[in-house]
Each structure stands twice: as structure tokens, then as C-alpha cells.
Structure 1
Amino acid sequence: MSYKRFYSISSFICLLLIALILNGAAVRRTVQRTTNDTLPIGSPNYEAMFSDGKLRIAIFWGYDHPRDTIIGSLPIFTTLNGKKLFYKGLPVTIEVGMITQIDKNPKNIFKMALEDPTVDIVIYSGHARYGGGMAFSSLNDIFKCGNGDFIEDRHKKPYKIIKATSEDLDSTIFPNNYKIVFLNCCDSDGHFRESWKRRFFECGSPIELLTVEYPVFNFYDHKRVLNLLQNMLTFADWKTIKSHYDSEIYKRRNRLIVDSAYKSSGKRVKK
């Protein structure tokens, strides 16, 4: 048998094995959603967030996010930055940081914000990349945090079957301080809740996870983000925050899912 023929047969066998493996694996092409839309109970832990006299908010707009959406929200966030609110008679200074794809290493900044015990709220608003993770400076600059499923990447034809791994999430060391993480991207509840809750539990972190069901409409993401922050600045409970988020309908209806994972972490919330 010639070397060329042997090489061709070997290549064919390898491709066949890969195809069999992928066909044998369950490729997730649809996202599982909850059947009952239950209202959350309780409120954000405002005392924990305001205990140091500051409310630090980090907002991340994902790759290829509509430019008009970002520009439209900039004046409001700029106005909020440095303002004070009063909670139970105590002054709290608001600090807002907004990061986009043009910033240097936005994915690294995202990870740093998640790990920083002084950052109270971390918001990502953008694409979920079919469950692969959050994209930042480019289409492939992804914060990998998937649930471990095989997913169909539909960015280019023919579609690729890839595994939604979580190495970036797994290397993130969440602090033992109360924090709210809001993943405002398409079907983030079905794509990411399982992996993020697992990591919170591994770190023993008292974190509230906010996710979304159904695809979001990116041209109006900033309105939902602003509404959520407005509700929190008036010390609203989770039921009010969810009702306000769900009532904003732009071509698509979305549902906010509030997961109080910190209540089952067994850790005391630091103040």
C-alpha cells in the first residue's frame, strides 16, 4: 500500500470517527425555557451593596453592539456617575464604569470586575454567541462560560458544532462579597445559568444572578438596563424589577429570571 493511499484512508477514518462522536453527542439546537413564569421574592441586599458608602456599577456592551444604543445611554450614565443617594439616612456615592469593544482588553476587565469585591453590580449586555459565551473586542474574543453542551455555531455556513466550554468562568475567583451579575443576552438563562451557579457555589460566593429568557432586541437593550438601575436606585424589590423589565416589549417579549443563588451558598454575606 502506498503512503499516499494509506494517508487518505487514515484521514477518512479520522473524519468518520469525529462524525460518529458528534452524532452520538446531543447537539443542543434549541434552548430550554421555564414553563411557569414565577415572580421572585425579596429584594436586592441594598445594605450589603451600600455598606462602604459607594455603589459601583460596571456595564459592558458586547462586540458588535449597536452604536446608537451605546451613545444613547452615555449621557445618562455620565450624569449618574458621582451623584449621591441616601439609604436609611446614609449617603452613597454612585460610580459607573462603561466598557465597550473599543476599550483595551474588555474581556479581561470583565473578569476583573467579577472578581473585584468592591464592584457591586456587573452587567453584560450583548450577544450570547449561541451559548458559547460573551463576546467583547471581536467575534472570537469570547468569555467562555457555557454549560458544557455541544452547540451549533451559526455565524458562518456551513454551521459548526462546538462544545460550549467554561474555562474563562472556571478561572474566575468570585469574592465572598454580595454582588449582582446581570447577563442581559439572548436566552442567557438556558445558556449560562447552570455553569454560573456551579461556579458561585464552588467559590462560596453570595451572588444574585439575573438572566433572560428568549432573544433580546439589542437596539433597545439600554432601556432595559437603565430601567433596572432606576429601580435599584429607588430600592425596589425583585418583583417590581422583574415586572418593569418584562413590561418593556420591543419586537420580542423577554423574561427576567432572578436566581438568589447566594441564599443557598451557606456563606455569610460580608458588609
Structure 2
Amino acid sequence: MINNLVHAADLSIVMRKYRYLGSFFILTLVAVFLNGAGIRRNVERLANDKVAQGRPNYDAMFADGKLRIAVFWGWDHPRDTIMGSFPAFETLNGKRLYYKGNPIMIEIGMITQINEKPKDIFKTALEDSTIDMVIYSGHARYGKGMAFESMYDIFRCGNGDLVEDRHVKPYKVFKATSEDLDATKFPNTYKIIMLNCCDSQGHFRQSWAKRFRECGAAVDLLTVEFPVFNLYDHRRVLNLLRDILAFADWKTIKANYESEVHKRKNRLIIDPVRSPDEEDFAMDGAY
């Protein structure tokens, strides 16, 4: 009799647990429905993680005797991340390095969300033929573009896809337009542009490459596959600058960028402009 009562009590406890679990799942589904949320898709990556051949066009970068770099930290970037890069930038700014025996002056400018009209400065840097590198690190607004003074102050450079904005409730779908990118006139001088923000579905690789072709711009574009925004972004940016100052090739630059793994691995995608290399002139001696 006692055993039967114990068994009945255990069964009652189990049934209550199932009822609680059932109620939890029902409430969760209701909350998801009311918030307009959808199940996130698996992150899309390139099928082949190709390593770019060759190296940046250092001859073109250093032709004027200067290496000018503009670094932009986007809206809501952690303060610790920005402050972590200050010592290195201050140390490098105004220093000289030597390339093929010639002195090269290093000039680094850092722009954050507290600067006046940082989005306008970003566009100006992209159009300035004397700036050799433009780096943006921050949010990508789900493929809409780079955010500067606020989450709504966006440099619109999407590829026309429909994107879901998850910072409003219920979630809304917008078209990722490219007004700001289309208004940017890239010079035909060599430049490296790094978009250190999530580009897992290739939104920016498509739209920016299209604009480069329209302008006849000689740009090496660096983008990142999911995800990128965290407290260690300054290390990745500093790794890139260190390798550029060491005249590294693309393989080394990619390996060192991806070596900073903090809970998740970022993949650096390099779309270089093909420039003449030593192998292109391997047969010159025969003529």
C-alpha cells in the first residue's frame, strides 16, 4: 500500500513538471509571436575560404612619402576597445619607417561617434586620394551600412536586399539602399578599405565592388564574415596595422587577423585589385 502511494506521488510530481514545461514552451511561443521574431537562419559563409595571393601595393601606398590612415570607431563601440587602441596610435603617429631605403611618415587619425559629423568625415576619407587606408570598425546594421553618431546615422551602402531591423519591435523589414555609397566618388589612386563589421551574407562585398567598378577605383577591400563586433576589435585592427608596417603579404595579414579568437572566429575576406607582381615579368629577360 505504501509503495503504491509513493509511486502515485512520484507520478504526480512528474506530471506537474510536464505541465510546467508545457506552459513554459507555450508562453515562449506567444512571446516570440508578439515580438514579431523569426527563427534566425544559419549564418552564410563563402563556400571556399580562399587566401588572396600577393601583397598590398606598397609602392603605390608609399609613393608620396607618407602612410596616411583614417580609423573610424562606429556607434556604440565599447569605450574600453577604443581606449585600448590609443597608446599604439599615439606611438605610431608622426613616426617614420623605411621602405626600399626611403623614409615614410606615418599619419594616423582616429574618429569616433563623439566627433562632429563622423559620417561626413568617413565619406571625405573615402574620396581623399591622399589617404592610403580607411578602416571602419563597428555595427553594420544588418546589412544597411555603417553607424556613426547613432544607430540611425547610417552610411547607407547596402546591396538592395531586404534586411530585418531587430532594434525595433515588432521587427521591421527594410530595403538596404545605397544612397551614400552611390554619392561617393572614389579616386583612381590605390587605397585599402577595411570594413571591420559583419558582412556574412556578402552585402557590402557586392555593393562596394559595384561602386568601385563604376568609379574605376583601385581599392583592395577587406570585409569580415560573422561575427565581428566585440571587445577585442582593436586587437584585430592593430594586427592589420602591424602587418602593413611590416610589408606583409595577404596570407600573413589574414592569418594574423583571424588569430584573435574570442568565443568565436572571424573570417577575413580579401578582395584585392590585381596589380603587377614579380611573376608577371618573369619572362622579361628573354626579350
What TM bracket, shorter-length normalisation?
0.7 to 0.9
Alpha-carbon separation, structure 2, partners of 1:159 and 1:125: 25
Counterpart among 64, 69, 78 of residue 76 in structure 2: 64
Alpha-carbon separation, structure 2, partners of 1:70 and 1:189: 27
Give the aligned CA root-mean-square deviation in angstroms.
1.6
Alpha-carbon separation, structure 1, partners of 2:165 and 2:184: 25
Q: What residue number does 1:201 align with?
A: 213
8 Å CA contact 2:145, 2:157 repeated in 1 = yes
Confirm whether residue 53 of structure 1 aligns to residue 88 of structure 2.
no
Segments of structure 1 that go 5 or more residues without pairing to the other structure are 1-27, 264-271
Q: What residue number does 1:179 align with?
A: 191
Confirm whether residue 242 of structure 1 aligns to residue 254 of structure 2.
yes
Segments of structure 2 that go 5 or more residues without pairing to the other structure are 1-39, 276-287
Offset at 1:246?
1.2
Q: What residue number does 1:150 align with?
A: 162
Consecutive aligned runs of 4 or more in structure 1 exceeding 3 Å deviation: 28-32
Cα distance per residue 1:51-88 (max 9 Å; x no partner): 00000000000000000110111111011100000000
Give the match's secondary structure for 2:71. strand
Offset at 1:32?
3.3
- Structure 1 or 2, whichever has the larger Rg, is 2
Alpha-carbon separation, structure 2, partners of 1:100 and 1:92: 26
Offset at 1:125?
0.2
Give the match's secondary structure for 2:123. helix
**Count of aligned positions:** 237
Code of the residue aligned with 1:125 in structure 2: it is: S
Q: What is the TM-score when the length of structure 1 is the normalising length?
A: 0.85
Cα distance per residue 1:90-149 (max 9 Å; x no partner): 000000000000000000000000000000000000000100100000110000000100
Alpha-carbon separation, structure 2, partners of 1:172 and 1:262: 22
Alpha-carbon separation, structure 1, partners of 2:100 and 2:201: 34
Alpha-carbon separation, structure 2, partners of 1:89 and 1:189: 43
Alpha-carbon separation, structure 2, partners of 1:161 and 1:35: 27
Q: What residue number does 2:126 align with?
A: 114
Offset at 1:217?
3.6
Confirm whether residue 74 of structure 1 aligns to residue 86 of structure 2.
yes
Counterpart among 44, 48, 72 of residue 36 in structure 1: 48
Confirm whether residue 257 of structure 1 aligns to residue 272 of structure 2.
no
Offset at 1:213?
0.7
Counterpart among 137, 141, 156 of residue 153 in structure 2: 141
Code of the residue aligned with 2:259 in structure 1: it is: S
Code of the residue aligned with 1:51 in structure 2: it is: A
Q: What is the TM-score when the length of structure 2 is the normalising length?
A: 0.80
Cα distance per residue 1:176-230 (max 9 Å; x no partner): 1000000000126622110000000000000000000111142000000000000
Give the match's secondary structure for 1:173. coil
8 Å CA contact 1:29, 1:151 repeated in 2 = no
8 Å CA contact 1:131, 1:188 repeated in 2 = no
Confirm whether residue 226 of structure 1 aligns to residue 235 of structure 2.
no
8 Å CA contact 1:126, 1:184 repeated in 2 = yes
Alpha-carbon separation, structure 1, partners of 2:213 and 2:206: 11
Give the match's secondary structure for 2:261. coil
